[in-house]
Structure 1
């Protein structure tokens, strides 16, 4: 098998060739047909998260081991299974739930493997999707995609699952009655915009400084799009939301975006942060009680939510996010384009042309 690996943090990915693994027990071998390039991959490649005030959170200190095959948005065809694997068929296509836990702790047994403190996420702590094949540790992590194209299905494993889980954190009546302000018009933001209406939401308002992404947000169903560089934009956002902002989904997670989101919330408002851009904020503690605010962070979603999401996509015939496909050999090119803010929607790695 061929993979494109992080050999040293911040250095170009390197092509590696090694024997294709064979599944045993509950394992499944997949031929990868689509692998999304996620903004989280940038942090993994750089080896750290920005904590603000000059501080960094080291991925190596958290257990990251190199070389690493990144990629956690994976879809493809099962080509072999272990002798104990159940519920999957050779020749069928699936999307992979990559957020594996230990499987034994209380958190995992509650169905929240993504929150396991001994997590073994694919593309982070075990080999992922920047490759032509991947070995999946258990058949339960596969979700049937039917006749859905793998390039459409792959982003649901992270950008879809994360935004779906984030939107579910708002009270159902708030989602139904109030427009959600979505900060960021990249892959996450566009996915969230598509999902709001599919989930019965009142609508979406998108904020992004890159006006080249505004058309894509409107095409995805946004009711309005604003540039945060324009003076007085928060007042305009509130007006577009009907006078008060009750729900903010921050798909960026920088010092500036979180602060802006908190500033625009009405009393009783709720901000959910899913972006990991980095930074630091200071919140006067009385404001949390006096304004009855909720500031919540989430880490992707669980397997049950991915199964629900894929059913929703089928039931609502959800349109795919804008995608740019390129061969696996261009993985580093895709990574750099994402770093420079040149990607609209999702970049998807696919097999080399025959």
Structure 2
């Protein structure tokens, strides 16, 4: 078994060859067919989040060395004696946001919010390898002939945007929303919004190529976030003050823009982790009756809902950049440098 492991933060990944593990109990061993590269991997690689003002928050609970990669599709090779419902040859997408299984959050179906997580590629070894061990078959979802490279990003970028959009379901079916960020997440959000019956979205991004990609993906309008009248342009394109904004960037400038664009009773859902600090004018919260809500990946139940749409062909594929798994290091660098349009997917 070959894996690409993070031994020290900010350092190149190391290539490790070792014996392929044998699954025990309810574990399932899969041969990796596709592994998505997500912006969250940049934060794991760097080992911290930017809190603004020169402050950083170290990512706690990440054991090194670690095999990253949390967007994984694989073929079942073997299963432990207590694993039921899967057989050799099955191709499955992996739900990586696994919790302890015992706390109140996990019992309520919110494993992704567990305070003692066992997330694959974050706390436990993930998909930047030619094999992966999944602790239970319940975390393996059928893809029914969908290209593994297409299916892999739904485990994070797809699920993250799906869960964020669901928090605006009371708005998007009746009126346009705004999506900040037209990278892989933004393009995914546009396709999912259409699949969910949304009225469409005005997209904001500072990169002209990404704005072009957003328009090609069906955005109602694409606004340069660096323009001094970006809020005015976005609200005009939406037909007035927005009641729903999804910020897939999550920095000081994007959250300020998103909040300023909110109309009365509006909700800003912050997903992105680029970092910084927000400086909202506090009186505007009650004046607008505004809500600001964070959204972190999504639940196993939401993943089942999402994959039903994918298997039914209701979600158009986003642009993919396919690379060999051995190029994971360069792909992380390209993603950090903003040189990836769409989603990057690695194949062993």
Partner of 1:255: 252
Alignment partner, residue 300 of structure 2 = 303
Q: Within 5 A, what are the aligned runs for 1:260-339?
A: 260-339=257-336
Partners of 2:195 and 2:314 within 8 A in 1: no
Match of 1:142 in 2: 140
Residue of structure 1 equivalent to 2:129: 131
1:30 aligned partner? 30
Find the residue that maps to 1:77 and give its secondary structure: strand
How far apart are the structure 1 equivalents of 2:138 and 2:169? Answer: 30
Contact 1:198 1:316 in 2 (8 A): no
Q: Deviations over 1:13-46 (max 9, x none)?
A: 1111111111111100011111000000000000
For residues 221-252 of structure 1, the C-alpha deviation after alignment (integer angstroms, 9 at most, x for no partner) is 11111111223121111011012211110000
Q: Which moved more, 1:277-286 or 1:11-20?
A: 277-286
Moved more, 101-110 or 219-228: 219-228
CA contact (8 A) 1:27 1:81 kept: yes
SS at match of 2:316: coil
Q: 3-state SS of the aligned residue for 1:147?
A: coil
- Out of 65, 82, 88, the position equivalent to 1:67 is 65
Task: Measure how far apart 1:257 and its partner are.
Answer: 0.4
CA contact (8 A) 2:99 2:117 kept: yes
Output one character per residue of 1:312-348: Cα deviation in whole Å (capped at 9) or x when no partner: 1233432111001111100001000001100010000
Aligned residues: 348
The answer as to 2:202 corresponding to 1:205 is yes
Of 81, 92, 99, 1:101 maps to 99
CA contact 2:37–2:343 (8 Å) conserved in 1: yes
The normalised TM-score by structure 1 is 0.96
1:95 CA displacement: 0.5
In structure 1, C-alpha distance between the alignment counterparts of 2:314 and 2:278, rounded to whole Å: 39
Task: Provide the TM-score with structure 2 as the length reference.
Answer: 0.98
Q: What is the 5 A alignment of 1:111-122?
A: 111-122=109-120
Structure 1 runs, 4 residues or longer, greater than 6 Å off = none
Answer whether contact 1:72 1:128 (CA < 8 A) is retained. Answer: yes
Could you say which residue in structure 1 is the equivalent of 2:89?
91
- Is contact 1:34-1:350 (8 Å) kept? yes
CA contact (8 A) 1:73 1:96 kept: yes
Contact 2:144 / 2:311 at 8 angstroms: preserved in 1? no
Partner Cα distance (1:21, 1:241) in 2: 53
Distance 1:278 1:46 in 2: 13
Report the secondary structure of 2:160's partner residue.
helix
SS of residue in 1 equivalent to 2:256: helix
> Are 1:40 and 2:53 matched, yes or no?
no
Q: Distance in 2 between matches of 1:146 and 1:271?
A: 35
**1:211 and 1:227 in contact (8 A); partners too:** yes
**1:287-335 CA deviation, whole Å, 9 max, x = no partner?**
2122100100011000010000010123343211100111110000100
